[in-house]
A and B are shown apart, each in its own frame.
Chain A
Amino acid sequence: MMPAVDPREEARKKRAKFAALVTAATVIAATTLSESRFHDWVWALWLVSFTIVVVFTTFSMRQIGPPYRRRRDGGSRPGRRGRDGGDGEVGEVGGHPRGDAGPADPAPYRWRTLLMVSRMMPGPAGRRWLAEAESLLSEIAAARRGAAVRSYLRSAPRLTVMMWAHEVLRLARLGPRRPG
């Protein structure tokens, strides 16, 4: 049984990590570009910041993996993104349960690529695309999974353009936001 996770707490942690990462990157840039580069204690600050960036980036990349991998590692990071966005539902994307044994076929299906591609799409549309791809890929026969992933990736550029065009039109219909 997975422990209940407060989405607000998760969001707070994510913001804190992002802030630390930005701060570290800023320090690296500032010390590298400044004239007093590596004088006195500055090298230590640079080294600490660089370590933070490397550790966070590595950690983040390790966490973006197919759901089955995290389950096998004993990880229980729940999906944190709602499917349609804004509906408050904690989606199963990237962390839905598949039983303790994981899916029948352990072959990875380019989960990271699908995730990255979905992030190029407008938020809710990208989340829906990813959730639907995940749903289908979890049910499709293992022999057909590779072709299905390739078809998703092949159609993604055109779909992304279509989604953004639709989003822009939708925003244009809504008109400019009024302050207050």
Chain B
Amino acid sequence: MALRLTVQVQLVVQALLRDPAREMYGLELSEETGLQPGTAYPILLRLEQEGWVTSRWEDIDPQTEKRPARRYYRLTANGAVQASSRLAGASRPSGAALRRLAEGEGVA
């Protein structure tokens, strides 16, 4: 089944597309898109299943860093191409839709 480009999916894809080579972790993506982490996670998982995104665990020693490892996400080459073309064809979310989304998410 083809990936449906909902407003939330578009926000995540746009954030990743800003610098396709850059790896982003969950909290970073959540802050950049304004989506709650619980909303962003299924989207990232779906993008990964579709082959648009690849992910890896950060290679750190949690004891030294005093925090758990992050999961980093990055667009694949194919994902970047597909995302760009699908976004170009997708209808842009209206300002009202984005406002509703932000209010629903509890993000200013």
What residues of chain A have their CB less than 8 Å away from a CB belonging to chain B?
83-84, 92, 96-99, 128-129, 131-136, 138-140, 147-148, 150-156, 158-159, 162-163, 166
Contacts and interface: CB of A to CB of B under 8 A. Distances in A.
Contacts of A84: 57
Given A92-B62, A140-B27, A158 B42 contact: yes
B4 interface: no
A92 B108 CA distance: 33
Nearest to B70: A135
B86 interface: no
Nearest to B67: A138
Interface of B: 25-27, 30, 36-39, 41-42, 45-46, 49, 57, 62-63, 66-71, 105-106
Nearest to A148: B37
A159 B66 CA distance: 29
A135 B30 contact: no
Contacts of A131: 68, 71
Contacts of A154: 38
Contacts of B39: 151, 155
Given A138-B67, A140-B27, 8 more contacts: A92-B68, A134-B68, A135-B26, A150-B36, A151-B38, A155-B39, A158-B42, A163-B45
Contacts of B37: 133, 136, 140, 148, 151-152
A136 B42 contact: no
18 contacts: A129-B41, A131-B68, A132-B71, A133-B37, A134-B68, A135-B25, A135-B26, A135-B70, A135-B71, A136-B25, A140-B27, A150-B36, A151-B37, A151-B39, A151-B105, A152-B37, A152-B38, A155-B38
A142 to B, nearest CB: 13
A133 B42 CA distance: 12
Contacts of A139: 27, 67, 70
Nearest to B57: A83
Given A99-B66, A152-B37, A159 B71 contact: no
